[in-house]
Chain A
């Protein structure tokens, strides 16, 4: 039973880690090693928790099917085999503790972005920072459809008993922001802002029944910015970087040139996690297209 493993892992978490799972919002200023030490047990727990919840759901479905078959069996066999009734009763009653346990585990679950995106990104970026260099990390994994994150809500209601009625809600969820200094002296900023659009539609079907449908669309807006030192890297002009197209924005400062690349990824799954590869690819594209100051003679 995987829920025992999940509970055991949860109990091993420190109060600070449990508190983070509870509110899922925090600003960090720590070294990569400290961040990984903090996140790793939660990542392992989260995976265990998800597996336990999936197993409990399967168990509930199995008990439901067995209870249904049991009811048929009671009708056929109860006179010859009176033991069937309590067995079916026990199977049916097992559904409720399983559902409660699954619900409780869901209350202490955290978004998969923590283990599938945040931990790998801290790990990768930590490879290119000095050991004592701190990473500023702002996380908000508290939920994407909270009222506090609602930007607009529009209702299209043609009137009482008139259909269809449509409510469109748009939420802004800036859930990830990381800044740090890399070993080459560059300053890095990575941000991910999610925009969630939900459409709730109530309509009358051909048969006259009132039906409701809900759809969600998520847009992940990933931005990678690097402020490169003029003394380290040759100053690039927009012409040098034509291959980037309009995705690249350049900004020149007295000592640094800021490169910003953004990418938007759309999905219909509100629980989908962001692939770290997307951020790595953006940063890799910038670093592949710049030249050291000495080589260009600037």
Chain B
């Protein structure tokens, strides 16, 4: 069975390892149930990337005041689905290129090596003894 095509994460992208269940009505790729949502007024599921982009665009076209958000948008805004629209905007603004844990395949992924920075697997060494985050180490206090 094909795996979900979603890249999860915000600063760090990684592949979703869940099996895909259905295809997105917009991009046609297969995704797991966690990464699909039914959009209001549509019977077919949309992947979170496509839904997020649509919702961000809808919101930008509206007045940006919080009070204009409808109930569905509220539900979306406080859901993990919102992050996918937000990250799409954030990446396209050009201020950030996410790290990617994995190998880039040029055919299927919407991200290519221009959009992401690939983490060298050799750099990923387990380090259980790494020093804990010391709250007192906040250098602004020193």
Contact = CB atoms under 8 A, between A and B. Distances in A.
A70 interface: no
Interface in B100-142: 101, 119-120, 122-125, 127, 129-135, 137-140, 142
A123 B75 CA distance: 13
Interface in B25-64: none
Interface residues of B, number: 44
A284 interface: yes
Contacts of A251: 137, 139, 142
B138 A225 contact: yes
Interface of A: 36, 39-40, 43-44, 47, 50-51, 54, 112, 115-116, 119-120, 123-128, 179, 182-185, 187, 189, 191, 223, 225, 227, 229, 231-233, 249-251, 253-256, 258, 260, 262, 280-281, 283-284, 287-288, 292-295
Contacts of B69: 47
Contacts of A36: 78-80
Contacts of B131: 227, 253-256
Interface of B: 8-12, 14, 66-67, 69, 74-75, 77-80, 82-83, 86-87, 90, 95-97, 99, 101, 119-120, 122-125, 127, 129-135, 137-140, 142
Nearest to A116: B66
B96 A255 contact: no
30 contacts: A40-B79, A44-B75, A47-B66, A47-B74, A120-B82, A123-B83, A124-B10, A124-B83, A124-B86, A127-B9, A127-B80, A128-B12, A182-B11, A185-B127, A191-B138, A225-B138, A232-B124, A232-B125, A250-B139, A251-B139, A253-B131, A253-B134, A254-B131, A260-B140, A284-B90, A287-B11, A287-B96, A287-B99, A292-B120, A295-B120
